[in-house]
Chain A
Amino acid sequence: MGESLLGNEGITMKQFAKLVNILGTSTKTNDKLQALQDYFEVAADQDKVWVIAIFSGRRPKRIINSTILAGWCLEIAAIEPWLFDECYHTVGDLGETIALLLPEQETQNETGNEHTLSYYLQTFIRIEKETEQVKKDFITSSWQQMDRNEKFVFNKLITGGFRIGVSQTMMVNALAKTVKVSSSIIAHRISGNWDPATTSFDDLLSETVAATDFSKPYPFYLAYAVDEDLDKLGEEDLWQAEWKWDGIRGQIIKRNKDFFVWSRGEELMTEKFPEYNHFKDQLPDGTVIDGEIISLGAPAEDGVFKPLPFAALQTRIGRKTITKKQLTEAPVGFIAYDILEFEGEDIRYKSMEERRQLLEQVIAKTNYPALHISPVISFNTWEELGVTRTKSRDMGSEGIMIKRKSSPYQSGRKRGDWWKWKIDPLTIDAVMIYAQKGHGRRSNLYTDYTFAVKDGDKLVPFTKAYSGLTDKEFAQVDSFVKRNSIEKFGPVRTVKPELVFEIAFEGIAASNRHKSGVALRFPRMSRWRTDKKADEINTLEDLKEMLKIYNQQGVVEATDL
């Protein structure tokens, strides 16, 4: 990599495509890090800004939908739509399928395409409002100048979802090494609300600008799952336990009289939760609170809060406008975990004990009924906490969080101070009835399955699941599907109902969108039940029974505080 990048005056799309290729295929973190660093060393500032933007999920708006894009490819490659679909389902990635199907230029040479990454992205922005013909001309003529690798990357930039095996953390680390600033500072500087089209590299990474962007959130501190033996954590006294709530982790920011709500995915969600307007004025300027955005039942006059199933919150996210009906059916509250900024000062370095006191102080000055502080669970022994944990589901929670009282608020997923101790999932045995090929590294392999339970002598599909098996098991199931498929509907194969799996899930809710009448939360295959036959699976009746038991709303007494 080094030799091809260095000593090259202009860094073009070709180099970026090479970078993406290394990031996408390399199996070693160090190689990826090195490739990013090499790129940052030589790339033009504007290209660097765009690379940061892309790898932190800030792509320009999609200028054309996938169907139209695929249509242009069909036209140029002169193939029928059904054949394109076959290819797409085998490759598992639209951008790559198109890159593979477009004809290669005969006269491909090293100096073929002089355009830079920024050129393409800025052109996307420039022609966003233009006619389809303008876009078609730009995209199809760009294809003609590119090799297959470049076409793939270019298509990914158009179709979105630039997930190619590089985490934001890795990018931050590479950047930190390049500009010689610590990675936590970099992480903070590139978070928040900034526009790659109008931000220069210097602005993005300079202290002064960071200070004036009032919306900027802190990187979230994430916990690892606790290892088996809690005794290893030492004295119970050193730890604080709380419920683990099942909503969206979020940060609320009040600065300079302005109010912002960020999700953990670094999405600005202020507009989505008008409920929060009720307490934003009660928070003092210079306050940043970490907590859970969560649907709560009827406002609690008696000091009780009731989380609704995650499905309720789902009706609120991903929508542009929120109706009155949604506001009443799925009201959203906030459960505060931690305070990161107090009176304008970054207090992440303070101990959690100190921060908790400040948090209580801040929340006490508010009076909005759906703004809560996360209740602390009192316990004397780890064993006792284990017993409490078994009640999680009744609380509408998914387990327990264990945090070291002396811990600072760190960034990213770190071991040692914060642990999550989730409850065991619910499980049900089901038979696989449909299969479809997967995406990404599961391309051309049947890895996406639909499962059914028994209802008399019928089979009723109730969930899909894609994960939980080892690569070896997936290969075995794939080979079963290929040998035992009954019919083919587009990409979906119906399969002889023979393989039984234990499906694990975190929650169950009623749903009128599914034939079975239920929707599961986080379903996955927890075990391949080779010991069971298809007639030994669970029934629809069993599912409905679970729904009855677990769909009840959790109830937490505020007096627990």
Chain B
Amino acid sequence: MPLIEFSDKGLYCRQGNFYIDPWKPVDKAVITHAHSDHARWGSKYYLCHHLTKPLLQLRLGDNLYESVDWNEPVFINGVKVSLHPAGHIIGSAQIRVEYEGEVWVASGDYKTEDDGISGAFEPVPCNTFITESTFGLPIYKWKKQLDIFEDIKNWVAQNKENKKTSVLIAYSLGKAQRVLMPLSEMGLPVYVHGAVWNVHQALVNSGWKLPEVTRVQPDTPKEDLVGNIVIAPPSADGTPWMKKFYPYSVGTCSGWMQVRGNARRRNTDAGFALSDHADWYGLLQAVKATGAQKVYATHGFQSAFSRFLNEQGIEAGEVKTEYGGEEEESKAAEETEEIIMDNG
């Protein structure tokens, strides 16, 4: 019996009778991070990191939550469970599961470059590693975060010169906070969409020191926005909500922007390949650092990535899960509701 099984509800540990990031309601859920394709509604009990708890409360409402610190073991029916930084977004964790000397790690989403707010990815030695592979092709090789921030700042500066508002499209949870840091160094007012505002407030209330932002309101004067910065989630892109900012230029922050066709499809003016996922080299580095004898790749380019690992002598298989894949779309859907609330 494998320590973790791939069931139709999610990753299942039979010995401990708990699920990791289940996509259907279960009795016990261990959550890697607060994005909606991983943290779903309806379970009776959620175990997560301290930093994730307020975000789950924001998104899933009141439930039975238990939170732990990094590497603080919890024993569930003899199974030792601990959380380790994944570097994806604030509070994101890899889940380490140990029973009778055998160790499995489920990565959740992760990136290997330290972004300064999400915690530095920690390689966790294990026998079996379940890894994401959203960007599991060698065409995905990210530029350094600082270089991308430089590109974004130049773009903002040029828009300001042309008297245009810079509308940056970034997920309300994760990317928005990540770009906020360098943007705040420019000394320009930063306005945010309601969905970004809600996350921002939840983080500030739980003790995060984040640069100041202003929520875009129906009565925000147009003159205040000209040449300044607006951060909005993908679901706001192309909606009437944007009209207020005219004339504006849209910049999209997403790993998918690495390929020109994607940027063109989104009709974005500027694409910044800034991702909260590991690139091909990050994935390989992470897999090797675990020393795992067996790897399961899921979500994204799992078939190419696992084939490559096999050719490298690392036994690997692919697993179908309901995480991501069309990650952008699923997160957009979640944020649509927030927008409706915001517009209403």
Residues of A within 8 A of B (CB): 24-28, 31, 77, 79-80, 82-83, 86-87, 90-93, 96-97, 100-101, 104, 152, 165, 439-445, 471, 475, 478-479, 482, 488
Chain B, Cβ-Cβ closest to A439: B261
User: A96-B259, A443-B259 given as contacts; is B264 within 8 A of A83 (CB)?
Assistant: no
Say yes or no: B268 contacts A445, CB within 8 Å.
no
At the interface, yes or no: B118 with Cβ under 8 Å from chain A? no
Give, as a whole number of angstroms, the nearest-CB distance from B88 to chain A.
21
Give, as a whole number of angstroms, the nearest-CB distance from A489 to chain B.
13
Q: How many A-B residue pairs have CB under 8 A?
A: 81
Of B256, B261, B271, the contact of A442 (CB 8 Å cutoff):
B261
At the interface, yes or no: B185 with Cβ under 8 Å from chain A? no
Task: Write out the residue numbers on chain B whose beta carbons fall within 8 Å of the beta carbon of A471.
Answer: 265
Say yes or no: B138 contacts A77, CB within 8 Å.
yes
Can you give 18 contacting A-B residue pairs, CB < 8 Å? A25-B260, A25-B270, A25-B271, A27-B269, A83-B137, A83-B308, A86-B137, A87-B138, A87-B139, A90-B137, A97-B139, A100-B259, A101-B138, A440-B264, A441-B261, A475-B329, A482-B325, A488-B303
Task: Write out the residue numbers on chain B whose beta carbons fall within 8 Å of the beta carbon of A24.
Answer: 260, 264
At the interface, yes or no: B304 with Cβ under 8 Å from chain A? yes
- Starting from the known contacts A101-B138, A478-B326, 7 additional A-B residue pairs (CB-CB under 8 Å) come to A25-B269, A25-B271, A104-B141, A441-B265, A444-B256, A445-B265, A488-B303
Chain A, Cβ-Cβ closest to B328: A475
- The distance in angstroms between the C-alpha atoms of A479 and B271, with both chains bound, is 23
- The distance in angstroms between the C-alpha atoms of A331 and B329, with both chains bound, is 53
At the interface, yes or no: B149 with Cβ under 8 Å from chain A? no
Give, as a whole number of angstroms, the nearest-CB distance from A539 to chain B.
35
Give, as a whole number of angstroms, the nearest-CB distance from B93 to chain A.
27
Contact-size category for B: 20 to 34
Give, as a whole number of angstroms, the nearest-CB distance from A472 to chain B.
10
Of A91, A441, A488, the contact of B264 (CB 8 Å cutoff):
A441
Task: Write out the residue numbers on chain B whose beta carbons fall within 8 Å of the beta carbon of A91.
Answer: 139, 259, 261
- The distance in angstroms between the C-alpha atoms of A82 and B137, with both chains bound, is 11
Say yes or no: A26 contacts B137, CB within 8 Å.
no
- The distance in angstroms between the C-alpha atoms of A439 and B264, with both chains bound, is 11
B303-337 at interface with A (beta carbon < 8 Å) = 303-304, 307-308, 311, 325-326, 329
Say yes or no: B260 contacts A444, CB within 8 Å.
no
Of B261, B263, B311, the contact of A93 (CB 8 Å cutoff):
B261
- The distance in angstroms between the C-alpha atoms of A441 and B261, with both chains bound, is 4
Task: Write out the residue numbers on chain A whose beta carbons fall within 8 Å of the beta carbon of B307.
Answer: 82
Of B139, B267, B301, B326, the contact of A100 (CB 8 Å cutoff):
B139
Count chain B CB atoms within 10 A of each CB in A28, A86, A442, A482 and give the residue with the most.
Answer: A86
Say yes or no: B311 contacts A80, CB within 8 Å.
yes
Task: Write out the residue numbers on chain B whose beta carbons fall within 8 Å of the beta carbon of A86.
Answer: 137, 301, 304
Count chain A CB atoms within 10 A of each CB in B141, B258, B261, B265 and give the residue with the most.
Answer: B261
Count chain B CB atoms within 10 A of each CB in A28, A90, A482 and give the residue with the most.
Answer: A90
Say yes or no: A27 contacts B268, CB within 8 Å.
yes
Of B139, B259, B260, B261, the contact of A101 (CB 8 Å cutoff):
B139
At the interface, yes or no: B262 with Cβ under 8 Å from chain A? yes
Chain A, Cβ-Cβ closest to B154: A4
- The distance in angstroms between the C-alpha atoms of A445 and B141, with both chains bound, is 20
Q: What secondary structure prevails in chain A residues at the interface with B?
A: helix
Task: Write out the residue numbers on chain A whose beta carbons fall within 8 Å of the beta carbon of B258.
Answer: 100
Task: Write out the residue numbers on chain A whose beta carbons fall within 8 Å of the beta carbon of B137.
Answer: 83, 86-87, 90
- The distance in angstroms between the C-alpha atoms of A439 and B259, with both chains bound, is 11
Task: Write out the residue numbers on chain A whose beta carbons fall within 8 Å of the beta carbon of B269.
Answer: 25-28, 31
Say yes or no: B326 contacts A443, CB within 8 Å.
no
Task: Write out the residue numbers on chain A whose beta carbons fall within 8 Å of the beta carbon of B259.
Answer: 90-92, 96, 100, 443-444
- The distance in angstroms between the C-alpha atoms of A152 and B267, with both chains bound, is 20
Say yes or no: A443 contacts B262, CB within 8 Å.
yes
Task: Write out the residue numbers on chain B whose beta carbons fall within 8 Å of the beta carbon of A97.
Answer: 139
Task: Write out the residue numbers on chain A whose beta carbons fall within 8 Å of the beta carbon of B303.
Answer: 488
B145-182 at interface with A (beta carbon < 8 Å) = none
Task: Write out the residue numbers on chain A whose beta carbons fall within 8 Å of the beta carbon of B261.
Answer: 91-93, 439-444
- The distance in angstroms between the C-alpha atoms of A101 and B280, with both chains bound, is 11
Chain A, Cβ-Cβ closest to B325: A482
- The distance in angstroms between the C-alpha atoms of A256 and B246, with both chains bound, is 56
Task: Write out the residue numbers on chain B whose beta carbons fall within 8 Å of the beta carbon of A475.
Answer: 326, 329
Give, as a whole number of angstroms, the nearest-CB distance from A550 to chain B.
36
Give, as a whole number of angstroms, the nearest-CB distance from A501 to chain B.
21
Give, as a whole number of angstroms, the nearest-CB distance from B111 to chain A.
19
Give, as a whole number of angstroms, the nearest-CB distance from A412 to chain B.
24
Of B141, B263, B304, the contact of A25 (CB 8 Å cutoff):
B263
- The distance in angstroms between the C-alpha atoms of A445 and B261, with both chains bound, is 10
Task: Write out the residue numbers on chain B whose beta carbons fall within 8 Å of the beta carbon of A82.
Answer: 307
Say yes or no: B265 contacts A442, CB within 8 Å.
yes
B126-143 at interface with A (beta carbon < 8 Å) = 137-139, 141
Task: Write out the residue numbers on chain A whose beta carbons fall within 8 Å of the beta carbon of B138.
Answer: 77, 79, 83, 87, 100-101
B68-92 at interface with A (beta carbon < 8 Å) = none
Give, as a whole number of angstroms, the nearest-CB distance from B309 to chain A.
12
Task: Write out the residue numbers on chain A whose beta carbons fall within 8 Å of the beta carbon of B263.
Answer: 25
Give, as a whole number of angstroms, the nearest-CB distance from B28 to chain A.
28
- The distance in angstroms between the C-alpha atoms of A482 and B300, with both chains bound, is 10
- The distance in angstroms between the C-alpha atoms of A471 and B308, with both chains bound, is 32
User: A96-B259, A100-B258 given as contacts; is B304 within 8 A of A83 (CB)?
Assistant: yes
Give, as a whole number of angstroms, the nearest-CB distance from B280 to chain A.
10
Chain B, Cβ-Cβ closest to A478: B326
Task: Write out the residue numbers on chain A whose beta carbons fall within 8 Å of the beta carbon of B271.
Answer: 25
Task: Write out the residue numbers on chain B whose beta carbons fall within 8 Å of the beta carbon of A93.
Answer: 260-261
Count chain B CB atoms within 10 A of each CB in A91, A97, A442, A475 and give the residue with the most.
Answer: A91
Count chain B CB atoms within 10 A of each CB in A152, A443, A471, A488 and give the residue with the most.
Answer: A443
Task: Write out the residue numbers on chain B whose beta carbons fall within 8 Å of the beta carbon of A488.
Answer: 303
Give, as a whole number of angstroms, the nearest-CB distance from B38 to chain A.
19
B241-271 at interface with A (beta carbon < 8 Å) = 256, 258-265, 267-271
Chain A, Cβ-Cβ closest to B304: A86
- The distance in angstroms between the C-alpha atoms of A86 and B307, with both chains bound, is 11
Closest CB pairs A-B (n = 9): A443-B261, A441-B264, A100-B139, A441-B265, A86-B304, A87-B139, A441-B261, A27-B267, A443-B259
- The distance in angstroms between the C-alpha atoms of A96 and B308, with both chains bound, is 22
Say yes or no: A25 contacts B311, CB within 8 Å.
no
Say yes or no: B326 contacts A482, CB within 8 Å.
yes
Count chain A CB atoms within 10 A of each CB in B260, B270, B303 and give the residue with the most.
Answer: B260
Task: Write out the residue numbers on chain B whose beta carbons fall within 8 Å of the beta carbon of A104.
Answer: 141
User: A27-B268, A87-B138, A471-B265 given as contacts; is B260 within 8 A of A96 (CB)?
Assistant: yes
- The distance in angstroms between the C-alpha atoms of A482 and B303, with both chains bound, is 12
Chain B, Cβ-Cβ closest to A475: B329
- The distance in angstroms between the C-alpha atoms of A114 and B90, with both chains bound, is 44
- The distance in angstroms between the C-alpha atoms of A445 and B328, with both chains bound, is 13
- The distance in angstroms between the C-alpha atoms of A100 and B261, with both chains bound, is 13
User: A83-B304, A86-B137, A97-B139 given as contacts; is B326 within 8 A of A479 (CB)?
Assistant: yes
Give, as a whole number of angstroms, the nearest-CB distance from B259 to chain A.
5
Say yes or no: B262 contacts A444, CB within 8 Å.
yes
- The distance in angstroms between the C-alpha atoms of A442 and B264, with both chains bound, is 9
Task: Write out the residue numbers on chain A whose beta carbons fall within 8 Å of the beta carbon of B326.
Answer: 475, 478-479, 482
B199-255 at interface with A (beta carbon < 8 Å) = none
Give, as a whole number of angstroms, the nearest-CB distance from A238 to chain B.
40
B18-46 at interface with A (beta carbon < 8 Å) = none
Give, as a whole number of angstroms, the nearest-CB distance from B343 to chain A.
20
- The distance in angstroms between the C-alpha atoms of A97 and B261, with both chains bound, is 11
Task: Write out the residue numbers on chain B whose beta carbons fall within 8 Å of the beta carbon of A442.
Answer: 261, 265
Give, as a whole number of angstroms, the nearest-CB distance from B272 to chain A.
12
Task: Write out the residue numbers on chain A whose beta carbons fall within 8 Å of the beta carbon of B308.
Answer: 83
Task: Write out the residue numbers on chain A whose beta carbons fall within 8 Å of the beta carbon of B311.
Answer: 80
Chain A, Cβ-Cβ closest to B266: A441
- The distance in angstroms between the C-alpha atoms of A82 and B304, with both chains bound, is 9
- The distance in angstroms between the C-alpha atoms of A403 and B271, with both chains bound, is 45
Give, as a whole number of angstroms, the nearest-CB distance from A543 to chain B.
33
- The distance in angstroms between the C-alpha atoms of A12 and B329, with both chains bound, is 40
